[in-house]
Amino acid sequence: MQEIQASRILDAKGLPCPLPILKVKREITAIEVGEILAVWTTDPGSLNDFPAWARATGHEIVKADVGSAPYRFWLRRTH
């Protein structure tokens, strides 16, 4: 399996809800369209927040590793 190369990594471990998703909103604008933001979080709310945010904004979850904390998401900026 090929490893996903992230342009930027956001370490949101230990941050309570809603801080991880608020930081994602800011950090996604710091990368170019088509690039990937990797996010590490321990907030269980992120399991619902990140997919809902991606659907609402049109960005793509390329991969999610959510078996146990820290949860890891790879998000592609689409616009």
Residue 42 lies in a domain: yes
pTM for this predicted structure = 0.94
pLDDT of residue 3: 87
**Domain with 59 in it: what CATH number?**
3.30.110.40
Residue 2 lies in a domain: no
Q: What is the pLDDT of residues 5-38, one digit of tens each?
A: 999 999 999 999 999 999 999 999 999 999 999 9
The domain in which residue 50 lies consists of: 8-76
Residue 26 lies in a domain: yes
Q: What is the pLDDT of residues 62-77, one digit of tens each?
A: 999 999 999 999 999 9
How many domains does the chain fold into?
Answer: 1
The DSSP element (H or E) to which 33 belongs, if any, is none
Catalytic residues: 17
**Selection from 25, 38, 35, 29 nearest residue 65 by Cα:** 38
Residue 20 lies in a domain: yes
